[in-house]
Amino acid sequence: MKKSTILIIFVTILIVIGVFISANNLLFTGRIIGGQDFHSSTIAICNETNYCEDYEIECEGETTIRTTATGFSIQHPENWKDPRGKQKENLCE
């Protein structure tokens, strides 16, 4: 075969693969996110001495899906309150 024919076939195959991958990503993204109330935020969860660890909270509506430690922690003074105003009872509201 000529080099130009091989090149055209190769480029065509790459385009078809690219379109297939793009179509699948759009399809899956639409199914996962479409119509759902998904959101996330962070909260400092503290013990009785105000040693606090930061967590990412993932929610669907008012239901907690996942709580993940971010790896950040700090020791606050005894009278410190989380300025984001969230409490353990209402993480997804």
pLDDT digits (tens, 9 = 90+) for 4-34: 788 888 888 888 787 766 655 555 544 555 5
Query: What is the Cα 19 distance to its own chain's centre?
Result: 25
pLDDT of 87 > 70? The answer is no
Residue 92's SS3 state is coil
**Percentage of residues of the chain with pLDDT beyond 70:** 72
Predicted local distance difference test score (pLDDT) of residue 75: 92
Residue 24: partners with Cβ closer than 8 Å, 6 or more residues away:
none
Flag whether pLDDT at 63 surpasses 70. Answer: yes
**pTM: predicted TM-score of the whole model, two decimal places:** 0.51
| Of 45, 43, 47, the residue nearest 58 (C-alpha) | 43
With 70 as the cut, is the pLDDT of residue 73 above it? yes
